[in-house]
Structure 1
Amino acid sequence: MTDASARTGTPTGRILFLSHSHPFGVFRVGSHHYARVLSDRGVDVVHVSTPISLVHRLTGRVNSSRLTGIPRGAERDRDGVLQIVPSTVLPRPLAVPTVARMLQRDGIDAAFDAVLIDQPLLWDSSVRSLSSRVIYRPTDLYPGGVKHALQRRILDQADGVIATSDEVLRGLGDLHVPSLILANGAESARFAPPRADAGPRGARCVYVGALDDRFDWGRIEGWALARPDVEFVIAGPDARPPRALPANVEIVGPVPYADVPSLLHTARVGLLPLSDSPLNAGRSPMKLYEYLAAGLAVLARETPGIGASSDLGIEVYTDDGDADAALERALAHPSPNRSGGALASSASWERKTDSLEQFLRTVPSRSV
């Protein structure tokens, strides 16, 4: 890779992301932010997401409302990133064509300075031919199943690894290539509270994110019963609480990414109520820094990647026995949380991209 200028050291050329998520829904993931920042720095970025298959549509796994706004072909977004959400008959990894063929089908030159893949299901034999630098960027634990098997194939071919947490890196076993731990970050400036937000906020706690089996509905119920004077707002798609929740719990459904900061600015505490799922051990929640950037204290279940830092407004609990006390500490933290906001600024996506670019420069290329 060459330098765009001696001042910035920004690499020119082309980078391909093979990502588990497209950016046309309510969520933003790490690949979206890296693609955005790199494009802003002059890199030609192509972002391919997990294909949406006919099988997924027919079985209801992807409903029609979630297809709104997804382009049918390659399309540049407002940040200059070329977005591709392929359509296939069968889901990956059964789907054909290969990634190389998907690119060629849209008239895209299938040669890149680097490929960063975080979705094991997008791996096929053609990926190795797309660049002399293939970087695996695992964002989750895959202890078994199809993704585990594909992850092993990727590691056999990859030139480097960028993991989002220590636990995710350890889960890969012994590596024969350079590696880096690069946790998720936040759009600190976007989430920062308005200057007029000077006074303490009311007793309101909020969660924004996925509501799958890694979310602990029981803990929300427990907090709500213990503190009926506190409002708990849960934002995310497909909310399915196991039973009726107390009246002070409000489920607001999915919130568009652009509207999340204003929602957070109404709250005092950001929640990360992680369930007992072993997959939570490897998570690097983006919401941790987004909450802090928005001026919230954070209340989270302790994991290998999330520990207490009371001076920064990060409170953790281990189980139901100490969860209520942790809530009280989070509610008592000065509001808005200025010290946490300073930490979030140091974890901006611009700084994360600096580290990513530096790593790419150190990874030896191979002939393809």
Structure 2
Amino acid sequence: RAAAAALPRGPHRDTDGVTHLIPRTLLPRPYGRFRVARELTRHGIRPAFDAVLIDQPLLWDDSVRGLSPRLVYRPTDLYPAGVKADLQRRVVAAADGMLATSTEVLRGLGPLTIPGLVLENGVDAARFAGSAAARPAVCVYVGALDKRFDWAQLDAWARAHADVRFVVAGPAAAPAVALPGNVELLGAVPYDRLPALLQSARVGLLPLSDDPLNAGRSPMKRYEYLAAGLAVVSRETPGIRSEESAGLFAYDDPDAAARALERALAFTSPNTAGVARAAAESWEAKTDALWAFVRGLAG
């Protein structure tokens, strides 16, 4: 109840000029009689737009199609089954274009007869820029600690490098294994504190588990790590491959994971090549590409 009470009621405009509306429903989406167009009208927002982007299948109802002559579906994850998969099929059938965050997510939609574009998540590069001072032997992970996180791999790295500190920041979760003393669990960290946390480390970790959903992920942390001057070690996925010249080392088995961390720890610090690589993935560049794609759709 406290969390619900903290949510703004009605439309509110933020400092960037974006109007937000958080609907309140009696039943979870997609159940109940909630309709997007009706909710907008109820709050005095004319339900007619130049373009509509929808990135969550649970927000779909038939009224969304009538909001704009250009409807773009932007899937950010794989939905192999369940309610989200059913709703996704309805969105795809109604949309004018697809804007996926990875090639695997786009492939998961099946054969398409409408334009599609892969546009990976980007980074606020300037926010994460740090000093030119060399970093200590610290490895950091920031993000969710759910089934997509490989606790066993973190444990193996930490036990093999007793002289290295491993810092994990994310919502409280019980580790799947008993971790050694050089692993520090910080819990959730406010976004404003992330740049300083990343700049205190030498290597950024993405120990993705073998959960099938990881195949379609486009982790923003990859570029945030690079923008902060870290070398990066990540499990290899269809969307994440080694870019050793930029200090990104991917692995596909435990032995390769051990070698990848060794190379990342030995990489130039701070990782200036990675900073340059991240700059090319700025949100400004992503926005330009997104808007060019949307404008090119028939409307």
Distance in 2 separating the partners of 1:72 and 1:349: 29
Q: Counterparts in 2 of 1:198-217, with a 5 A limit? A: 198-217=132-151
Distance in 2 separating the partners of 1:254 and 1:101: 37
Aligned-residue offset at 1:67: 4.9
Mapped contact 2:159–2:180 kept (Cα < 8 A): yes
Aligned-residue offset at 1:68: 7.3
Which residue of 32, 44, 62 corresponds with 1:107? 44
Aligned-residue offset at 1:302: 0.4
Give the corresponding residue for 1:342: 276
Give the corresponding residue for 1:43: none
Distance in 2 separating the partners of 1:138 and 1:282: 10
Distance in 2 separating the partners of 1:68 and 1:332: 49
Matched, 1:222 2:159: no
Amino acid at match of 2:60: W
Distance in 1 separating the partners of 2:61 and 2:296: 25
Amino acid at match of 1:92: R
Q: What secondary structure, in the 3-state scheme, does the structure 2 residue paired with 1:183 have? A: coil
Distance in 1 separating the partners of 2:4 and 2:257: 39
**1:252-306 superposed Cα distances (whole Å, 9 cap, x missing partner):** 1111212211110101011111001011111111111111000000000000111
Gap regions ≥5 residues in structure 1: 1-56, 58-63
Give the corresponding residue for 2:35: 98
Give the corresponding residue for 1:191: 128
Amino acid at match of 1:80: G
Distance in 1 separating the partners of 2:32 and 2:208: 33
Which residue of 78, 83, 88 corresponds with 2:15? 78
Matched, 1:361 2:298: no
Give the corresponding residue for 1:14: none
Mapped contact 1:239–1:251 kept (Cα < 8 A): no
Distance in 1 separating the partners of 2:126 and 2:5: 28
Amino acid at match of 1:248: N
Q: Counterparts in 2 of 1:264-303, with a 5 A limit? A: 264-303=198-237
Q: What secondary structure, in the 3-state scheme, does the structure 2 residue paired with 1:126 have? A: helix
Distance in 2 separating the partners of 1:227 and 1:209: 22
Distance in 1 separating the partners of 2:282 and 2:32: 36
Q: Counterparts in 2 of 1:1-368, with a 5 A limit? A: 64=2, 66-67=3-4, 69-193=6-130, 197-365=131-299
Gap regions ≥5 residues in structure 2: none
**1:199-226 superposed Cα distances (whole Å, 9 cap, x missing partner):** 2100101111111111111111111111
Distance in 2 separating the partners of 1:329 and 1:139: 31
**1:156-205 superposed Cα distances (whole Å, 9 cap, x missing partner):** 10000001111111111111111111111100111111xxx222100101
Aligned pair count?
Answer: 299
Give the corresponding residue for 1:24: none
Mapped contact 1:205–1:269 kept (Cα < 8 A): yes
Aligned-residue offset at 1:240: 2.2
Using the size of structure 2 for normalisation, the TM-score is 0.97
Amino acid at match of 2:9: R
Aligned-residue offset at 1:344: 0.5
Distance in 2 separating the partners of 1:333 and 1:67: 46
**1:76-115 superposed Cα distances (whole Å, 9 cap, x missing partner):** 1121111122221211111432111221222211111111
Tell me the C-alpha RMSD between the 2 structures: 1.3
Alignment identity in percent? 61
Distance in 1 separating the partners of 2:107 and 2:132: 42
Structure 1 segments (4+ residues) deviating >3 Å:
66-69
Amino acid at match of 2:224: E
Q: What secondary structure, in the 3-state scheme, does the structure 2 residue paired with 1:113 have? A: coil
Aligned-residue offset at 1:143: 0.9
Amino acid at match of 2:271: N
